[in-house]
Chain A
Amino acid sequence: MTTLTTLSEAALTGASDAAGEPTWLRDRRLAAYKRTLDLAWPDSRVDEFWRSTPFAQRIDVERDIVTTGGSDSPASFTADLDLEVATARIVDGALVEVTVPSALVAQGVVVTDLSTAAAEHADLVEPALGSLTSSDTEGTGAGADRTITVNDAAWTAGVFIHVPAEVEVDAPIVMQIHAATGGAHLPRVLAVLGHHARASLYLEHTSEPDTDALVDEVVEVTAHDAAILDVVSFQRWGDHVDHLALQKVQAHRDSQVRHLSVTVGGRTVRLLPETDLVGPGAETRPLGLYFADDGQWFDLQPYVRHLAPRATSNVLFKGALQGRSRTVFRGNVFVHKDAVGTDTDENNRSLILTEGARADATPFLEIECSDIVAGHGSATGQIDALQLYYLTSRGITRDEALRLIVTGFFREVFADVDLPGVEDAAMSEIDARVAAADLASFQINDASLKDHHDE
């Protein structure tokens, strides 16, 4: 069996040929493999972008790469919606099922296996695949990272999505990524939205409760001129899954991008939702909510690069923590010297529910251009005693009031999100965690009481 550290040219060539991939793709995998040989695994003591997750302690790369496939996976939350959704289902390292409603097929929408697409839609796949993981753009990006390059070389389950120009897809395109077997999972998604296209891509990540796995994922999306794109990524892993993900969007002129991550499961989740704003007037709205429980470590690194004039970005991440959990928000916004008229804002809010949890926030702003509007901020706090008093003074029990306050804290993230099923699915995850929490141990901040009495 091959692990992430024992990859070989022979193994990669064999797998590529077996999947019927064209030569250009096999060569690209081999080139990526050669790059991995020059790279060490991240060292959290020295690598700036890995300081926030102790790689050696939490990530085990000596695992067999899982390619077996499987049949069972949990139902998508979109199953309850009365919608004709396109679905791609990845189970245990293989794409096992693709369903595309005929109405979408008729409009030219493609959802298919990435290896197959590399041959059949080479004109679309060849220029796009790997263009966002290996490109050298300005700004302090992470640079070459073996955890990403290894996916470039060895991804096993790939999905390709194409929404042609001017085609608007109302229902979400759902990718279910499920890990049942322990080991290393290497999913890959490539999506291209033509100009004036519109689509929502949902990524649902699940595992069995006892699956011990590393999921190393790369998602690349290109939103061409004036496209409207939503990416929603749910992390609902069991307690023994480590998830490293780069989910990167290239936003062209006047495109509108929103990325929403909901992180509640997983032992370690290191999520990089990135947007390169390459066309004038493009917009991105990276949103995140997370609820970390005992033993969980979430490292959230939204990164926006303003590389063109008059683009807009607005980052908002909100998280709650309890038990011995740790969250890191490392937001970064880079504004290129040519990106005049940039408008950017970046915020992180954390709610510490119990003693022992720790939330770190470092919102960075790196500006080469003076003609911009920029803001950033972060705050970490506890449940407010005055809010709690107000609710209980109306007869609501303390426990119920705490639930209202915690769920209310997250609602802001959905202020202008109207994606079918997403808010309900996310809030039911939060509700379930609050319902299971030891509410008696919640810390209450009574500072607000002090300013209160005036006579």
Chain B
Amino acid sequence: MADLEIRGLTVEADGTEILRGVDLDLNQGQTIALMGPNGSGKSTLAYAIAGHPAYEVTGGTMTWKGTELNELTPDERARLGVFLAMQYPVEVPGVSLTNFLRTAVNAVREEDVPVREFMQSLRAEMAELDVDDSFLQRSVNEGFSGGEKKRFEILQAALLRPQLAVLDETDSGLDVDALKTVAQGVNRLSGPDLGVLIITHYTRILRYITPDEVHVMFEGRIVASGGPELADELEAGGYEGIRAAHAAGV
């Protein structure tokens, strides 16, 4: 049994069925890329895994090391080691980045991490991700540029040390330098204890992070699976081939 095992997952948002039976396996230590055109349901899968309240699981199963995720609240999933780097990180006015991160770290580790130790690890991770010290006093995501938000998501992952990291379009809106910084950040987190699910429309982040497997989603189902070479094919041919094959009922 895989660490993350998704079987026949169906998900609705606002009364519309978006995922129509998704199967996926992912183990710790593995990196999987999930690709697909806009509207194919990639982000919906990410949100379903992380318990977003706008997405309703209507069928199938989704287990992490044997625990059914759909029965857990978002915070319980996070404490189990599930992390979603969001495509659109949310601004939370008045909550300082420091206060937020420390509260989250304490919650996930289920202990009161001493302030000094916490600040040391925070500053170290900020330096790695090229995040300025002035961010410590800023409110969560408030007034951050697109690139700053994405870096802050990876910073959170670095501090929370998840076992499963889902990166939802983390590459979108980043210039090449920021993309490299973020990809390096993800690579630094990688190891035998971390499973990574990279959700992306484009292949460019896969130049910096090499996936073990690539899956392609279309109209709420995974329609193609392969190794890293599948990403190269998509790079060359785009999603038209998949669209056409799907239309032809292949």
Taking Cβ atoms with an 8 Å cutoff, the residues of B that contact A are 13-14, 18, 38-44, 47, 50-55, 73-75, 77-79, 83-84, 86, 88-96, 99-100, 103-104, 107-108, 139-140, 156, 160
Q: Which of B74, B107, B160 has the most CB of A within 10 A?
A: B74
Chain A residues touching B, majority SS: helix
- Residues of chain A contacted by B89 (CB below 8 angstroms): 390
Q: Mark A376-409, 1 if CB is under 8 A from B, else 0.
A: 0000000001110111111111101100110111
A455-B75 CB under 8 A given contacts A405-B95, A410-B94: no
Instruction: Determine whether the beta carbon of B73 is less than 8 Å from that of A408.
Output: no
Instruction: Determine whether the beta carbon of A394 is less than 8 Å from that of B88.
Output: no
Taking Cβ atoms with an 8 Å cutoff, the residues of A that contact B are 385-387, 389-398, 400-401, 404-405, 407-412, 446, 449-450, 452-455
A455-B55 CB under 8 A given contacts A387-B92, A394-B104: no
Instruction: Determine whether the beta carbon of A404 is less than 8 Å from that of B99.
Output: yes
- In the assembled complex, the Cα of A405 lies from the Cα of B75 at a distance in Å of 16
| Partner of B75 from A393, A409, A452 at Cβ < 8 Å | A393
- In the assembled complex, the Cα of A454 lies from the Cα of B93 at a distance in Å of 24
Q: How far is the CB of B12 from chain A (nearest CB, A)?
A: 10
Instruction: Determine whether the beta carbon of B41 is less than 8 Å from that of A455.
Output: yes
A-B contacts, CB under 8 A, total: 112
Chain B residues touching A, majority SS: mixed
- List the A residue with the shortest CB-CB distance to B41: A455
| Partner of B53 from A385, A407, A410, A455 at Cβ < 8 Å | A385
Instruction: Determine whether the beta carbon of B103 is less than 8 Å from that of A412.
Output: no
A390-B92 CB under 8 A given contacts A395-B78, A398-B73, A453-B13: yes
Instruction: Determine whether the beta carbon of A408 is less than 8 Å from that of B107.
Output: no
Instruction: Determine whether the beta carbon of A404 is less than 8 Å from that of B92.
Output: yes
| Partner of A411 from B43, B55, B73, B94 at Cβ < 8 Å | B94
Instruction: Determine whether the beta carbon of A396 is less than 8 Å from that of B94.
Output: no
Q: A394-B104, A395-B78, A454-B43 are in contact. List 15 more A-B contacts (CB 8 A).
A: A386-B90, A390-B86, A391-B104, A392-B75, A393-B75, A394-B83, A394-B107, A394-B156, A395-B79, A395-B104, A396-B104, A397-B107, A411-B93, A446-B54, A453-B18
Q: How far is the CB of A405 from chain B (nearest CB, A)?
A: 7
Q: How far is the CB of B56 from chain A (nearest CB, A)?
A: 11
A sample of 6 inter-chain contacts (CB < 8 A) reads A393-B75, A394-B100, A400-B107, A401-B75, A452-B52, A453-B47
- In the assembled complex, the Cα of A410 lies from the Cα of B139 at a distance in Å of 12
A396-B103 CB under 8 A given contacts A408-B94, A412-B94: yes
